[in-house]
Structure 1
């Protein structure tokens, strides 16, 4: 009978390739405890290139008081596994711990809905190679939204950004236009796109290739302005929007050069059935 190869005997490069896909919780709390080779591989920064943070509570507190109950969130498991003093645990310290694993090699980060200014600044300083940044959850709830526009200059390699709402859009895109020369993809959830927002997009990122404004509140003329001003678009997602009709002939004609134009479900007005 031929010898069977064991998982722990896999080449380190193979392990890193796999571990980079399993997610933060497994990489922190499962993989390192399987065997020595897996533990060593989990410490390699390449495993931590893509970091998606879980959501934390608004007041940054955690319920560790449930006696006899198995920890069921990543934070509870983290505290339990590493025997951390519960009174000293914080989301900021947790985020710093995760970021430190990447040793500056993280290229993709999704921020949680609630995190401190200190944590966001730490991400900016310790992750200079970011290519993708998702701050859509963070912008929905953070009291320090203006901070992001001040930190964009730290991410010169940024290619894709996910936002929520249109708050501070001009300041964010103005910084991107100056500092992020490879930027080509923008997603704005729950956006309100009117004259000013359309002008901001066409003026500051006219060569954008991928633009996702799904479920936006649109001014029809603003969509026309974007179609006329952003000639490099290869994808434009304006599905389920309010402010224009998906069958609008002028819009369909103006978008005919876009490889992937999606407008299904968009209506001129939102009808609410009582």
Structure 2
């Protein structure tokens, strides 16, 4: 079925009975299609015949938009950063939003833009999970719309979205008071070679520098957080202190790659987190060449680093 357009014509089965797949009741079709992945519906079922296409647009099939598993399993990451690919993701997301009739509660994708997220904010008031990693054209503008219209948001992943600033973190925290999970991871700026040839150079250079400002917004406006990931953030001991003072319900904290923190900083800041169950420390290896650059010369002063392994995203 996948990738081929059907006609819906009758066929004779081994038992001699005649079946017409196009004549299945709508309820029966929904039951069948609900067992397929989003990708299989788009690449297969929607192409069978008009009744199947209409069934694929049923709102009950569009409470979740999840492309994350597809991204995780694909090796074709070089084309993800192109305008053409972004337009395809936007188009697909906007279609699902329209078909959902307001029932969409989870969006997990990458490389969308403000265009589709503004639409999501207007049409998906029940949104609870938003994961939009690696979106170079998602900005504070669409995040403001999400904050104002999606007050039930509980989980937010804006990792590698460098056009989103601390202003969005503040607004999301103020408006979405039930937020318990935040993932604000940055790319590995300690060893960016793993991104070369995939991520545009100018985007790598745009890595946010205001770690403490973001940390202050998190600590002040997100007191309900239980799970926080800020891998490769450039926050200092002051920023970590702000988080730990304001987010006393934290159970999981990932500080991997946070090069400006020492072991003492982490111990001092997290000592008051009574609910903390798992803490990932800055376990990384600093290449020898780094010590000869003026930009990272201050690392020579730090003898409390966790330089035990090469950190890989």
TM over 0.5: yes
- 2:256 and 2:281 in contact (8 A); partners too: yes
What SS does structure 2 have at the residue aligned with 1:233?
A: coil
Aligned-residue offset at 1:156: 1.5
Corresponding residue for 1:160?
Answer: 155
Q: Which residue of 2 aligns with 1:212?
A: 229
1:262 paired to 2:290: no
Query: Aligned pair 1:132/2:106, yes or no?
Result: no
Using the size of structure 2 for normalisation, the TM-score is: 0.61
> Using a 3 Å threshold, how does the CA distance of structure 1 residues 92 and 236 change in structure 2: closer, same or farther?
closer
* Structure 1 pair 104–189 and aligned structure 2 pair: CA distance change class (3 A): same
What does 1:33-48 correspond to in 2, within 5 Å? 42-48=56-62
In the other structure, the counterpart of 2:178 is 182
SS at match of 2:228: strand
d(CA) in 2 for partners of 1:238, 1:14:
43
- State the partner residue of 1:58: 82
Counterparts of 1:18 and 1:246 in 2: how far apart (Å)? 48
Size of the alignment, in residue pairs?
Answer: 233
Find the counterpart in structure 2 of residue 170 from structure 1. Answer: 166
Residue 111 of structure 2 corresponds to which residue in structure 1?
Answer: 113
Aligned mates of 2:85, 2:130 — CA distance in 1: 25
Q: Distance in 1 between matches of 2:53 and 2:161?
A: 41
Q: Distance in 1 between matches of 2:99 and 2:127?
A: 15
Any gaps of 5 or more consecutive residues in structure 2? 1-14, 16-20, 72-78, 187-207, 290-313
User: How far 1:249 moved relative to its partner?
Assistant: 3.9
3-state SS of 1:134 partner: strand
Contact conserved, 1:15 with 1:41, CA < 8 A, in 2?
A: no
- Distance in structure 1 (CA, Å) of the matches to 2:173 and 2:85: 38
Change (3 A) 1:174 1:245: closer
- Please give the alpha-carbon distance, in whole angstroms, between the structure 2 residues aligned to 1:251 and 1:209: 16
Alpha carbons 1:255, 1:261 under 8 Å: kept: no
- Segments of 5+ residues of structure 1 without an aligned counterpart are 63-74, 76-90
Distance, in Å, in 2 between the alignment partners of 1:121 and 1:34 is: 32
Which moved further from structure 2: 159-168 or 210-219?
Answer: 159-168
**What is the Cα deviation at residue 145 of structure 1?**
1.3
Distance 1:214 1:118, change over 3 A: closer
Q: TM-score, normalised by structure 1?
A: 0.68
Contact preservation (8 Å) 2:30, 2:56: no
Q: Which whole-Å CA distance do the structure 2 matches of 1:226 and 1:57 have between them? A: 32
Change (3 A) 1:173 1:240: closer
Preserved CA contact (<8 Å) 1:202 1:230: yes
What is the CA–CA distance in structure 1 between the aligned matches of 2:93 and 2:34, rounded to whole Å?
Answer: 23
How much has 1:154 moved relative to structure 2? 1.5
- What residue in structure 2 maps to residue 30 of structure 1? 44
1:124 touches 1:154 (CA, 8 Å); kept in 2? yes
Q: Tell me the CA shift for residue 231 of structure 1.
A: 0.8
Aligned-residue RMSD, C-alpha: 3.6
Q: 1:195–1:92: structure 2 CA closer, same or farther, 3 Å change rule?
A: closer
Q: Distance in 1 between matches of 2:244 and 2:157?
A: 20
Q: Secondary structure at the match of 1:236?
A: strand
Cα distance in structure 2, aligned partners of 1:182 and 1:238: 23
Aligned to 2:287: 272
Q: Quick one: distance in 2 between partners of 1:256 and 1:193?
A: 28
